[in-house]
C-alpha cells in the first residue's frame, strides 16, 4: 500500500513538474520573444523618426556638417547601444556611428536588397558593416515629397534573444524553487495519507483478529477520521453481534436443555420402572407440557428466522378490530380462571375497522395479553382498550403486575431477554414474544411503546392504520 501511494504521488509530481517546465520553456518563450521583439522595434523606430526629423531641421541650418551630425549621433548611439546609419537616396552608405564601416563605399541596395523598402527587418547581415545579424528600423529622410536619404538604426539580434534567455532562466529558477516547495508539500501529503492508511489498515487487521478495542489513531477531522470512526463503529457492532450470538447460543441451549432433560429423565424412569405404572399419567402430562414448550420455542425461532431472511410478509385486509380482540381475549379464559383474574374490554360503541394483517395482529395481541396475565398478581385485572385517533387505531394492553425495572425497559425487545424478576416464574416463556411483536408492528410501519412502573404494572400501546367503515 505504501509503495502504491508513493508511486501515485511521484507520478502526479513528475507530471506537474513536466507541465510547468513545458509551459515555461516551450510555450512562454515564443510569446515572450515575440513581445520583446515588438518592444525593441518600437523603441528603435521611434528614435529613427526623431533623428530623421532632427537631421532635416539641422541640415538647413548654416554651418551644419555631416561630422557635426555624427558627433551628435554617437552620443545617441551610446544611449541606445545601437548603430545609426545615414544612407543616401540611392542606397549608398554616407556615414555610420559604428566602427565597422569599410573605406570602400557600401551600397545597401546591393548588400541588403529590400532593407530600405521596409520599416523593420530582422536577421540582417551586411558584410563589412555588421559583425552579427541585426534588427533594423528604417525611416526615410524627406524634404517635401522628395526622399533625400534614410536613417537606419541597427540593433544586434542577440540582444532580444539574450533578454528572452535571461527571462526564461529567471522563470526556470522560480519554477525550480516552486517545484522544490511542491515536492516538500507532496512529501508531507504522502506521509500523512500513507500513515493514516497504515493506521486504518492495522486497526482493521486487529478487528479481524478479535481486538475490537483497537483505535486507528487518525489525526485531523477529514475523511480518514470518518473512515476510522466508521470502522470502529462497525467493529463495535460486530463485537455486540458476537456477544449476542454467544448469548443466543447460551439462551437457546438453556431453553432446549431444560425440557429435554425433563423429558429424557421421566421417560427413562418410566421405562426402567422407577415410576410406577399407576402414577405415570402425572409424568406423561409433564412430558407433554415440556414438549409443548419445545414446540412453541421452535415455532418462535422459525418466525424470527423468516422475519429476518424474508421480512415479515403481510396479508393486508380490512377487519373489525373490536371483534378480533373479543375473540382473542376469550381464548385466555382458562388462564384467567387459574389465577382468578379478569380481562376488562373497553371498546367504542360502534364497529372499528383496521387495515392490517389480521393474523399477525392476533399474534401481537396474544403475546401482549399472555405477558400481562403471566406477570400479574392473582385476583387482578388486565385492561384492553381500543380507541381511534384521527386516521389511527390505538390498542392498549395494561396490567397491574410486577412492572419492568427502568434499566430493563430498553432491553425487553431483545431476543431471549427476561428480567430477573420474571425468570423462573413461568417456565413456558421463551423470551421471543416481544421481539416478534416489535417486528410485526414495525413491518406495518406503525409504532409500539411501553409504559411501566416497577411494582405497579405495565402498559403496551400500539397503533394501526384505520380503515373506513
Quick one: CATH architecture of 223-308?
Orthogonal Bundle (1.10)
Exposed e or buried b for every residue in 61-79, given b needs 16+ CB within 10 A? eeeeeeeebbeebeebbee
For residues 47 and 53, what is the distance between their CA atoms, to the nearest angstrom?
Answer: 10
Place of cell 523593420: 120
For residue 424, what pLDDT is reported?
A: 39
Q: 155's torsion region: left (phi>0), alpha (psi -120 to 50) or beta?
A: beta
CB 149 within 8 Å of CB 88: yes
CB 168 within 8 Å of CB 24: yes
Helix locations, 60-156, DSSP H: 66-80, 108-111
Residues 6+ apart with CB under 8 A from 457: 376, 398, 399, 400, 401, 403
Q: Which CATH class, in words, describes the domain spanning 2-162? A: alpha beta
Place of cell 549608398: 92
Quick one: CATH architecture of 312-466?
2-Layer Sandwich (3.30)
Where in the sequence of the chain do the CATH 3.30.565.10 domains occur? 312-466
Q: Name the CA dihedral angle for 72, 74, 75, 80, rounded to a multiple of 10 degrees.
A: 130
For residues 20 and 284, what is the distance between their CA atoms, to the nearest angstrom?
Answer: 93
For residue 465, what pLDDT is reported?
A: 95
For residues 419 and 404, what is the distance between their CA atoms, to the nearest angstrom?
Answer: 8
Residues of the chain falling short of pLDDT 50: 1, 101-103, 420-428
39-44 CB contacts, 8 Å cutoff, 24+ apart: 40/135, 40/155, 40/159, 40/160, 41/120, 41/135, 41/137, 43/80, 44/80, 44/82, 44/135, 44/137, 44/153, 44/155
Tally Cβ neighbours within 10 Å of residue 349: 6
Where in the sequence of the chain do the CATH 3.30.450.20 domains occur? 2-162
For residue 341, what pLDDT is reported?
A: 93
* Burial of residue 31 (number of CB atoms within 10 Å: 0-12, 13-18, 19+): exposed
CA within 13 Å, CB half, 1: 11
For residue 65, what pLDDT is reported?
A: 63
Q: Which three cell numbers stand for residue 455?
A: 411494582
Q: Which three cell numbers stand for residue 54?
A: 532632427
For residue 58, what pLDDT is reported?
A: 62
For residue 385, what pLDDT is reported?
A: 95
For residue 40, what pLDDT is reported?
A: 92
Tens digits of residue pLDDT in 371-382: 899 889 899 999
For residues 96 and 73, what is the distance between their CA atoms, to the nearest angstrom?
Answer: 9
For residues 8 and 164, what is the distance between their CA atoms, to the nearest angstrom?
Answer: 35
Where in the sequence of the chain do the CATH 1.10.287.130 domains occur? 223-308
For residues 352 and 393, what is the distance between their CA atoms, to the nearest angstrom?
Answer: 8
Q: Full-prediction pTM beyond 0.85?
A: no
For residues 298 and 206, what is the distance between their CA atoms, to the nearest angstrom?
Answer: 37
For residues 303 and 419, what is the distance between their CA atoms, to the nearest angstrom?
Answer: 23
Amino acid at each position: 500500500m505504501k509503495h502504491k501511494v508513493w508511486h501515485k504521488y511521484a507520478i502526479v509530481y513528475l507530471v506537474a513538474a513536466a507541465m510547468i517546465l513545458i509551459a515555461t520553456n516551450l510555450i512562454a518563450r515564443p510569446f515572450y520573444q515575440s513581445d520583446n521583439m515588438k518592444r525593441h522595434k518600437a523603441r528603435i523606430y521611434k528614435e529613427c523618426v526623431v533623428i530623421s526629423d532632427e537631421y532635416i531641421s539641422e541640415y538647413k541650418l548654416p554651418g551644419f556638417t555631416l561630422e557635426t551630425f555624427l558627433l551628435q549621433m554617437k552620443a545617441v548611439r551610446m544611449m541606445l547601444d545601437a548603430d545609426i546609419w545615414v544612407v543616401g537616396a540611392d542606397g549608398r552608405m554616407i556615414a555610420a556611428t559604428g566602427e565597422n564601416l569599410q573605406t570602400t563605399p557600401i551600397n545597401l541596395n546591393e548588400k541588403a536588397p529590400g532593407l530600405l523598402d521596409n520599416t523593420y527587418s530582422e536577421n540582417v547581415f551586411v558584410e563589412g558593416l555588421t559583425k552579427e545579424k541585426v534588427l533594423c528600423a528604417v525611416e526615410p529622410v524627406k524634404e517635401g515629397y522628395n526622399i533625400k536619404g534614410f536613417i537606419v538604426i541597427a540593433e544586434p539580434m542577440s540582444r532580444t534573444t539574450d533578454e528572452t534567455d535571461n527571462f526564461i532562466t529567471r522563470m526556470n529558477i522560480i519554477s525550480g524553487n516552486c517545484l522544490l516547495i511542491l515536492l516538500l508539500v507532496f512529501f508531507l501529503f504522502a506521509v500523512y495519507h500513507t500513515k493514516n492508511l497504515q493506521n486504518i489498515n492495522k486497526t482493521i487487521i486487529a478487528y479481524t483478529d478479535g481486538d475490537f478495542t483497537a483505535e486507528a489513531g487518525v489525526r485531523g477531522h477529514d475523511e480518514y477520521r470518518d473512515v476510522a470512526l466508521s470502522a470502529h463503529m462497525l467493529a463495535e457492532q460486530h463485537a455486540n453481534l458476537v456477544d449476542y450470538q454467544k448469548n443466543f447460543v447460551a439462551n437457546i441451549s438453556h431453553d432446549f436443555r431444560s425440557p429435554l432433560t425433563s423429558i429424557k429423565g421421566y421417560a427413562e424412569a418410566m421405562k426402567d420402572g422407577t415410576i410406577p405404572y399407576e402414577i405415570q399419567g402425572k409424568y406423561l402430562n409433564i412430558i407433554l407440557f415440556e414438549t409443548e414448550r419445545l414446540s412453541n420455542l421452535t415455532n418462535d425461532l422459525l418466525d424470527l428466522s423468516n422475519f429476518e431472511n424474508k421480512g415479515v410478509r403481510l396479508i393486508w385486509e380490512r377487519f373489525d378490530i373490536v371483534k378480533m380482540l373479543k375473540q382473542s381475549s376469550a381464548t385466555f379464559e382458562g388462564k384467567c380462571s387459574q389465577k382468578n383474574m379478569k380481562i376488562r374490554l373497553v371498546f367504542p360503541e360502534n364497529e372499528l375497522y383496521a387495515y392490517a394483517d389480521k393474523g399477525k395482529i392476533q399474534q401481537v395481541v396474544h403475546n401482549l395479553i399472555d405477558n400481562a396475565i403471566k406477570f400479574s398478581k392473582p385476583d387482578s385485572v388486565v385492561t384492553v382498550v381500543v380507541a381511534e385517533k384521527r386516521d389511527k387505531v390505538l390498542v392498549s394492553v395494561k396490567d397491574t403486575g410486577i412492572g419492568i425495572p427502568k434499566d430493563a425497559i430498553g432491553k425487553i425487545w431483545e431476543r431471549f431477554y427476561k428480567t430477573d424478576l420474571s425468570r423462573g416464574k413461568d417456565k413456558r416463556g421463551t423470551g421471543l414474544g416481544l421481539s416478534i411483536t416489535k417486528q410485526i408492528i414495525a413491518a406495518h410501519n406503525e409504532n409500539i411503546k411501553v409504559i411501566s412502573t416497577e411494582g405497579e404494572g405495565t402498559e403496551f400501546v400500539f397503533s394501526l392504520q384505520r380503515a373506513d367503515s
